Structure formats: C-alpha cells, structure tokens
Structure 1
Amino acid sequence: MSGGSLQCNYQFFNNSYYFVLIGRKQTIGNLLTSVGIYTDSLGIIEGNKLSLKLRGKGNPSGDYFKSISAYQNELYNTNNNLNTGELWIKKLDTINQIVSGIFWFDAVNANGQEVQIREGRFDVRYTR
C-alpha cells in the first residue's frame, strides 16, 4: 500500500509471540482503507509459510478495512479454518529488527461479500 502509513510490531508478551503488520491509506474525504496481517500466540520464522485462517489464538490471519462514509465502515477478514491465504516470511533479522515477506488472502465481510488481497509484500523495521 503506497502513499500511506505502515505499522509493524513483533512482540513477546505473556509467554507468546504476536506479529502485527498494518498498512493504512487515507482517501479523499478522510476515508480510511487498511490491510492487516496478524499472528496471535504464534512466532514467525524466516523461510516459513503460514496459512492465514480465522483470527484467534495460535492462528495467523488477515483483514481488510474500508470507510464507506464518516459513519459507515466495512471489515473483511479471513473467517474460517480453511486456507484463505498465506504469509511467507522471507527474512527475519532479530538483531536489526527487520522483517520482509509476501502475502495474499481472501476476506469476507458480515454480508458474505469477498475481497481478494493479492501480491502483498513488505520489507520493514519492526518495533518490539
């Protein structure tokens, strides 16, 4: 996602690892669009491919958020335990706190509408 902001955290908290990558972009009229990748109680490993699934403990997941108006938003997320996408950690440098990888996923909103996020890539410094 270009022209916006990027947040990346990789933390060890309560005896578990959490990875968060969120790209945000404000559109005309201050509407927001974002794409997020998460792990909950799951470490990331260089060279590892993770299947994105339902968000929850022990699972990696993805979501897509967009503002439709100042009062209406839509959230799409990987919503089942089938393989609805992949996160591939290509490089993990824990000394310099740099992570890079690629991802893709399909996400569904509460009305059953689907979005496809394709060819996502990142090469960023993370905070702990």
Structure 2
Amino acid sequence: MQMEDLMQPNMNRASKASKVPVQYDLQADIEELRKLLSERHADPRKQRFGDLYDTIQALIAAGVSHAAIIRKLKSMDLSISPVTFKNWIAEMRGEREGQVASKRSEEQSSQMQEAMRRASARGVDGRAGQ
C-alpha cells in the first residue's frame, strides 16, 4: 500500500467536514478586528516615536545611520528593534504623504469648482448681454 492510499480517506473526511456551514457574527468579527487597530495605535512607544518623527527624518536626511538613531532612542528609554524602526518610518511617511496628497486633492477640487463657477457666471453674463 502506498502513502497516498493511506492519506486519501483522511482527506475525504476533512473535505466533508469543511462543507458544514459555519455560523458567525460578522459585526462581532469586525469589532474584534477593529480592537487590533485601536490597540496598535495605542502603543505609547509608537506615539512617542511619532512625536519625534520630524527630528528623526531630519537626522536621516543629514546622514545619521538608523543604528545610531536606534541607539540614541534606546538611551532615551525608547527601545525598538531595527525592523520596527524601519516599519514605523515607512508607515508614518506613508501617512504623511497620504495627508499631503489628500490636502492637494481637496485644493485642486476647490480650484476646479471655483473655475467652473467663474465659467458658469461668464456664460450667464454673456447670454444675458445678448
């Protein structure tokens, strides 16, 4: 008898069991997952890192190594791993860029609305004068 023959009956039982409908509460699942999000943002180390973000970015731009910054943060009782450091930098950079892009989009939208309003007013004035 081959190994595949021995495994086949178990695989069939598992596949039959997987067809049983599972009852779950979608809203409860969503709430549980949202707790993870709020817990993640509640990390006091991350909040402190966020407060220091602009200074950290200035140090990086000036050529200070990540390792030196991480050592300095550790001496300030803010111990984070190099991976966490890189992840938080990337995440915060993305959030800031997203905020800038959103603000730029809002400005462009309001400029477009203003241009449309002016064009509409000229069109109305032009027709009224004829």
Task: Work out whether the TM-score is over 0.5.
Answer: no
Higher relative contact order (CA 8 A, sep 6+): 1
Higher strand residue share = 1
Name whichever structure is richer in helix by fraction: 2
Class of the TM-score when normalised by the shorter of the 2 chains: under 0.3
TM-score, with length taken from structure 1: 0.19
Indicate the structure (1 or 2) with the bigger Cα radius of gyration: 2
Q: Give the alignment's TM-score, normalised by structure 2.
A: 0.19
